[in-house]
């Protein structure tokens, strides 16, 4: 079982981060602090790797890019769609994006070298975001009633470079399913919804914020049920550590006959280590200081909290993001 370590405190993170800045980082922070909070003179490019079109990452990322352009008019912002978390991380590491959304377990695998993503151990974090949820849906007329019933079935669980694939296969393995017996179908989310509606796949599994608009639309056209995946969490924690918790999957948005429990995973906003300090600081400000505007653009997306956002261990906070949290801490005291 993975070794348990004490949870860090907010003060500890801020103090440790201050030390991690070093002389060069501290000098940059001091220079930027002297310029104040006006970000009109920030220049650069901010491309956000968002994952599957139509999913929550994609919609939230577009809202962030739009708001960043308003907040920092000298910055060219946009989104880069990919197949999911690993695709997002690859986009950053290959220089096609500056920041990216990633599920925590995908990021952990990449940093540990378990997947072929050279340089992933050097990635930094801007913040922890909302939690994501495993959503396993079947048609209401399906004979599949438990997660374990998917053994040997045809399942779409994101694309090959997605974090959805990792969480889905880990949860199935945790309840005793031989993952090798699955017929895994690589499909983007919109196509996966269409295939489930047509009965061409037995189940659709996806990990994202909740609800996902594509699946809300699917539930309006086709009666659905959700499979309870919460029972897989204790074994997942035993195998891979306390990065998974049990979370709720309400019935309402998808028109489900009943709510279920499911697997919840952390989500992070990560950045290239060479992302400019002022740009990282400004974008972190957009994430937290512009939440009213973001909520109007994507009202069904849960906004991250400052209290949780600073806890990105073991991924270090980018110096610009750390500066924003330290300034916020000063204002609050």
What is the structure's pLDDT at 40?
84
Q: pLDDT digit string (tens) for 79-116?
A: 999 999 999 999 999 999 999 999 999 999 999 888 87
Handedness of CA 208, 69, 310, 98 (dihedral sign): positive
Q: How far apart are CA 321 and CA 306, in angstroms?
A: 12
What is the structure's pLDDT at 13?
55
Q: How far apart are CA 269 and CA 49, in angstroms?
A: 10
Give the residue, 21 or 324, on which the prediction is more confident.
Answer: 324
Return the closest-CA partner of residue 31 out of 330, 320, 331. 320
Give every CB contact of residue 143 below 8 A, 6+ residues apart in sequence.
149
In the chain, which ranges are continuous DSSP H helix? 10-34, 56-71, 85-93, 104-112, 163-174, 189-198, 213-221, 233-240, 277-289, 291-297, 306-309, 319-332
Q: pLDDT digit string (tens) for 249-272?
A: 999 999 999 999 999 999 999 999
User: Model confidence at 300, in pLDDT bands (50, 70, 90)?
Assistant: confident
Give the residue, 269 or 51, on which the prediction is more confident.
Answer: 269
Q: How far apart are CA 69 and CA 283, in angstroms?
A: 10
User: Model confidence at 332, in pLDDT bands (50, 70, 90)?
Assistant: confident
Q: What tokens does 113 get? A: 């070298």
What is the structure's pLDDT at 26?
41
What is the structure's pLDDT at 189?
93
pTM for this predicted structure: 0.85
Q: How far apart are CA 41 and CA 85, in angstroms?
A: 32
Q: For residue 302, what are the CA distances in angstroms to 52, 211, 233, 271, 324?
A: 18, 10, 23, 21, 21
Q: Report, as an integer, the average pLDDT of 59-86.
A: 95
Domains delineated in the chain: 10-130+267-332 (3.40.190.10), 132-265 (3.40.190.10)
Express as a percent the part of the chain with pLDDT over 70.
89
Q: pLDDT digit string (tens) for 119-172?
A: 999 999 999 998 999 999 999 999 999 999 999 999 999 998 899 999 999 999
Give every CB contact of residue 247 below 8 A, 6+ residues apart in sequence.
131, 133, 230, 261, 262, 263, 264
Mean pLDDT score across all residues of the chain? 89
pLDDT of 30 strictly over 50: no
Q: pLDDT digit string (tens) for 307-322?
A: 999 999 989 999 999 9
């Amino acid at each position: 079982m993975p070794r348990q370590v004490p949870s860090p405190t907010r003060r500890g993170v801020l103090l440790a981060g201050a030390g991690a800045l070093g002389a060069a980082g501290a000098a940059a922070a001091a220079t930027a602090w002297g310029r104040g909070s006006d970000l009109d003179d920030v220049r650069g490019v901010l491309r956000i790797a968002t994952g599957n079109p139509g999913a929550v990452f994609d919609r939230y990322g577009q809202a962030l890019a739009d708001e960043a352009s308003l907040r920092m008019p000298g910055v060219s912002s946009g989104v880069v769609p990919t197949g999911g978390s690993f695709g997002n991380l690859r986009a950053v590491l290959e220089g096609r994006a500056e920041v990216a959304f990633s599920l925590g377990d995908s990021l952990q695998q990449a940093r540990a070298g378990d997947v072929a993503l050279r340089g992933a151990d050097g990635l930094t974090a801007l913040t922890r975001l909302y939690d994501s949820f495993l959503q396993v849906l079947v048609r209401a007329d399906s004979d599949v009633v438990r997660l374990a019933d998917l053994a040997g079935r045809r399942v779409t669980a994101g694309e090959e470079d997605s974090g959805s694939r990792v969480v889905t296969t880990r949860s199935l393995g945790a309840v005793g399913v031989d993952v090798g017996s699955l017929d895994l179908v690589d499909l983007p989310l919109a196509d996966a919804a269409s295939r489930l509606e047509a009965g061409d796949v037995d189940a659709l599994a996806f990990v994202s914020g909740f609800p996902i608009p594509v699946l809300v639309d699917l539930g309006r056209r086709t009666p659905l049920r959700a499979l309870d995946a919460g029972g897989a969490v204790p074994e997942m924690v035993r195998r891979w550590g306390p990065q998974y918790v049990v979370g709720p999957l309400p019935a309402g948005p998808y028109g489900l006959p009943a709510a279920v429990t499911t697997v919840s995973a952390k989500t992070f906003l990560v950045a290239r280590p060479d992302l400019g300090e002022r740009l990282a600081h400004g974008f972190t400000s957009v994430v937290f200081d512009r939440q009213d505007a973001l909520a109007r653009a994507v009202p069904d997306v849960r906004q991250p909290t400052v209290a949780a956002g600073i806890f990105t261990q073991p991924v270090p906070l980018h110096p610009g993001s750390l500066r924003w949290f330290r300034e916020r801490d000063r204002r609050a005291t």
